[in-house]
């Protein structure tokens, strides 16, 4: 049976988003279809009664007091989408767009937006046939959700805008035609329902979370290999120490470090003359653990968000009410993403300090910059420069977006979340840290090669072999950029994390 993600508006998992990004098919559940049909009847009844309802029979934003004549209410939906498609900047990646399509379809499938099932069917068809709207990355305030990015997505639903199909950038209508998907003429309520929501920041946030969780696991492995390369001690990871400061992430990290280092002949356990290691080695459970805890919090926020109704107004068929509120506001995501991004940046900052410790002969006792002929060769000197540049850039990016606001729509939308900013910079921070951890892996493996006496631990041996399968030992100076790219690709795709997990589960 072909794997498929079934949308019901209630039970989508973050891992499902990852599967759909990779190409898994999607379908709408029968229960969701029935709920959507029930809420659509409420909207149709409102239309018959000509009751004033925001964005159905009125304008939007500060124009909410402007009544729309009956003959114009369909044109209103088309106009809302066109006028809100005001994004700028480069287009986001296919992975982000697929996540947006999925998450918007799931939010509408909850049955509280009052749209026809045909609208979700169209989004699902676009996913399954790989029609990916061109969505500029800039323009969202996270206010009434992600209006501009979602409007660019909605344009293609209408047969307008632009989309990628089979590797080609096309007019939206042409992409839909080639994919065999009829564009949809939007009915009342459907234009606003497509663009009111947090699916841009949620898509970016989900990508950030899934990759960040893998990254922290790899950072554990890199740190453990560095400890062995520097002949450190595993005493700071003793269960007693974690028991008396029982943060869950700290304990989990210490457990993983002990498992990675199990069986090592390079760890000093008795008569340790340095007494204790530097913080960048000794405090890995505290720093990586804090990142795990913050990512756990973000996971909880995202899990709620991707199964939430974030439209406005919302339709409740059980009593026929249509209520305007603020479920589109991105503050829950913005604050959680800011906190998680700061925690991930700290993982990178600590990794860079371990890189310096490995390369500095006054701290490592190894050849300067891990070059076999220091002076003639510079070794990994510039790799630390790159790591330092990246962690310094992250210090700027870590300024929280969620404390900022700027009023829009004639001050009707007078406090905005900047959730899209939080998500975009969180991903940039993550990308930077992936590079830094990749550098540490390369440098730690080089240090092991230069002082190879003593068996590596059960897990770190696997880490070392994985690094060497990707990049050979540095015997003389060569262009490092390709080595860094190759290693970062392993880190980002989760190849190394999966290999380590298999070892730890044995």
Please compute the mean of the pLDDT values over residues 252-272 and round it to a whole number. 90
For residue 469, the model assigns a pLDDT of 93
Task: Flag whether 169 is in a domain.
Answer: yes
Q: Are residues 339 and 437 in the same domain?
A: yes
Please compute the mean of the pLDDT values over residues 132-143 and round it to a whole number. 96
For residue 53, the model assigns a pLDDT of 75
Whole-number average pLDDT of the chain: 94
Q: Does 313 sit behind a cis peptide bond, omega within 30 degrees of 0 on the bond before it? A: yes
For residue 493, the model assigns a pLDDT of 86
Q: Are residues 348 and 399 in the same domain?
A: yes
Q: Are residues 184 and 217 in the same domain?
A: no
Say yes or no to pLDDT of 506 above 80: no
Strands, E assignment, 436-492: none
Task: Flag whether 48 is in a domain.
Answer: yes
For residue 414, the model assigns a pLDDT of 84
Say yes or no to pLDDT of 11 above 90: yes
Three-state DSSP state, 308: coil
> Strands 4-7 and 25-28: what pairing?
parallel
Cα 448 from Cα 461, distance rounded (Å) = 10
Cα 233 from Cα 231, distance rounded (Å) = 7
Contacts 24+ apart (CB under 8 A), 137-140: 137/87, 137/89, 137/90, 137/91, 137/92, 137/424, 138/87, 138/88, 138/89, 139/86, 139/87, 139/88, 139/89, 140/87, 140/200, 140/201, 140/419, 140/420
CATH code assigned at 57: 1.10.275.10
Find tokens 């934003």 and name the residue: 61
Q: Are residues 188 and 213 in the same domain?
A: no
Q: How many C-beta atoms surround the C-beta of residue 94 within 10 A?
A: 12
Compute the C-alpha angle 180/123/61, nearest 5°: 130
Q: Are residues 169 and 219 in the same domain?
A: no
Q: What is the CA radius of gyration of the chain?
A: 26
Three-state DSSP state, 164: strand
CATH code assigned at 264: 1.20.200.10
The secondary structure of residue 374, as a DSSP letter, is: B
- CA dist 116 → 33, 36, 76, 190 (Å): 9, 6, 17, 8
Say yes or no to pLDDT of 389 above 70: yes
The whole model's pTM is what? 0.95
Domain boundary among 132, 167, 197: 197
Select the more confidently predicted residue: 66 or 405: 405
Task: Flag whether 472 is in a domain.
Answer: yes
Please compute the mean of the pLDDT values over residues 191-206 and round it to a whole number. 96
Task: Flag whether 343 is in a domain.
Answer: yes
Q: Are residues 229 and 120 in the same domain?
A: no
Counted domains in the chain: 2
For residue 415, the model assigns a pLDDT of 85
Find tokens 């080609």 and name the residue: 168
Per-residue model confidence as pLDDT tens digits over 350-367: 999 999 999 999 999 999
CA-based nearest residue to 343, from 401, 296, 405: 296
CA-based nearest residue to 205, from 305, 136, 308: 305
Per-residue model confidence as pLDDT tens digits over 227-251: 999 999 999 999 999 999 999 999 9
Domain boundary among 135, 170, 197: 197
Say yes or no to pLDDT of 435 above 90: yes
Cα 237 from Cα 221, distance rounded (Å) = 14
- Decide if 380 is catalytic: no
Q: 260 near 458, Cβ under 8 Å?
A: yes
Q: 227 near 267, Cβ under 8 Å?
A: yes
Per-residue model confidence as pLDDT tens digits over 92-116: 999 999 999 999 999 999 999 999 9
The pLDDT > 70 percentage for the chain reads 99
The secondary structure of residue 301, as a DSSP letter, is: H
CA-based nearest residue to 448, from 484, 473, 470: 473
Task: Flag whether 410 is in a domain.
Answer: no
Q: Are residues 183 and 255 in the same domain?
A: no
Highest mean pLDDT among 174-183, 267-276, 497-506: 174-183
Q: Are residues 295 and 170 in the same domain?
A: no
Q: Are residues 11 and 108 in the same domain?
A: yes
Cα 44 from Cα 64, distance rounded (Å) = 20
First-residue to last-residue Cα distance in the chain: 30
Q: 137 near 131, Cβ under 8 Å?
A: no
Per-residue model confidence as pLDDT tens digits over 443-470: 999 999 999 899 999 999 999 999 999 9
Q: 449 near 371, Cβ under 8 Å?
A: no
Select the more confidently predicted residue: 52 or 417: 417
Say yes or no to pLDDT of 390 above 90: yes
Report H helices in 9-146.
14-21, 30-49, 73-84, 94-109, 117-128
For residue 61, the model assigns a pLDDT of 67
- CA dist 363 → 295, 307, 369 (Å): 33, 51, 11
For residue 141, the model assigns a pLDDT of 94
Comparing 1-15, 225-239, 384-398, which segment has the lowest mean pLDDT? 1-15
Q: Phi then psi for 140, rounded to 5 degrees?
A: -90, 140
Q: Phi then psi for 420, rounded to 5 degrees?
A: -65, -40
Q: Are residues 179 and 92 in the same domain?
A: yes
Q: 36 near 120, Cβ under 8 Å?
A: yes
Say yes or no to pLDDT of 1 above 60: no
Domain boundary among 146, 176, 197: 197
Q: Are residues 214 and 168 in the same domain?
A: no
Containing structural domain, residue 253: 204-312+322-405+415-504
For residue 259, the model assigns a pLDDT of 95
For residue 341, the model assigns a pLDDT of 98
Task: Flag whether 317 is in a domain.
Answer: no
Say yes or no to pLDDT of 58 above 80: no
Q: Are residues 231 and 374 in the same domain?
A: yes
Comparing 146-150, 348-352, 415-419, which segment has the lowest mean pLDDT? 415-419
Report H helices in 64-93.
73-84
Report H helices in 180-268.
190-195, 199-229, 239-243, 248-261
């Amino acid at each position: 049976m072909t794997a498929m993600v079934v949308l019901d508006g209630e039970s989508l998992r973050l891992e499902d988003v990852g599967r759909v990004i990779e190409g898994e098919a999607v379908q709408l559940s029968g229960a969701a279809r029935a709920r959507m049909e029930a809420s659509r009847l409420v909207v149709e009844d409102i239309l018959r009664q000509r009751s004033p309802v925001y964005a159905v029979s009125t304008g939007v934003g500060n124009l909410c007091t402007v009544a729309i004549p009956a003959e114009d209410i369909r044109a209103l939906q088309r106009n809302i989408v066109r006028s809100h498609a005001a994004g700028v900047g480069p287009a986001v990646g296919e992975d982000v767009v697929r996540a947006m399509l999925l998450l918007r379809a799931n939010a509408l499938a909850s049955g509280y937006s009052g749209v026809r099932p045909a609208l979700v069917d169209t989004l699902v068809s676009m996913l399954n046939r790989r029609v990916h709207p061109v969505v500029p990355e800039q323009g969202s305030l996270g206010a009434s959700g992600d209006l501009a990015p979602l409007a660019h997505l909605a344009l293609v639903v209408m047969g307008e805008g632009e989309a990628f199909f089979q590797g080609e950038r096309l007019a939206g209508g042409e992409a839909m035609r080639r994919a065999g998907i009829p564009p949809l003429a939007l009915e009342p309520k459907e234009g606003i329902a497509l663009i009111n929501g947090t699916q841009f920041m949620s898509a970016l946030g989900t990508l950030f979370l899934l990759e960040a969780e893998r990254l922290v696991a790899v950072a554990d492995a890199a740190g453990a290999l560095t400890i062995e390369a520097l002949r450190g001690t595993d005493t700071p990871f003793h269960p007693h120490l974690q028991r008396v400061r029982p943060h869950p992430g700290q304990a989990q990290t210490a457990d993983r470090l002990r498992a990675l280092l199990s069986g090592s002949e390079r760890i000093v356990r008795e008569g340790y003359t340095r007494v204790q290691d530097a913080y960048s080695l000794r405090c890995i459970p505290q720093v990586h653990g804090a990142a795990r805890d913050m990512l756990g919090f973000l996971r909880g926020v995202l899990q709620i968000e991707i199964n939430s109704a974030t439209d406005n107004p919302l339709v409740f068929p059980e009593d026929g009410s249509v209520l305007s509120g603020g479920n589109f506001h991105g503050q829950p995501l913005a604050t959680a993403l800011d906190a998680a991004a700061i925690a991930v940046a700290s993982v990178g900052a600590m990794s860079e300090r371990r890189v310096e410790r490995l390369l500095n002969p006054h701290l490592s006792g190894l050849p300067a910059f891990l070059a076999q002929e220091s002076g003639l060769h510079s070794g990994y000197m510039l790799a630390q420069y790159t790591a330092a540049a990246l962690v310094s850039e992250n210090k700027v990016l870590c300024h929280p977006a969620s404390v900022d606001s700027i009023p829009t729509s004639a001050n009707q939308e007078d406090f905005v979340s900047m959730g899209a900013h939080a998500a975009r910079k969180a991903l940039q921070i993550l990308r930077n840290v992936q590079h830094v951890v990749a550098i540490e892996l390369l440098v730690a493996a080089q240090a092991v090669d230069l002082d190879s006496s003593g068996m590596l631990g059960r897990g770190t041996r696997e880490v070392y072999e994985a690094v060497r399968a990707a990049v050979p030992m540095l015997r003389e100076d060569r262009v490092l950029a390709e080595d860094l790219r190759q290693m970062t690709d392993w880190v980002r795709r989760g190849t190394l994390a999966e290999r380590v997990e298999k070892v730890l589960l044995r």
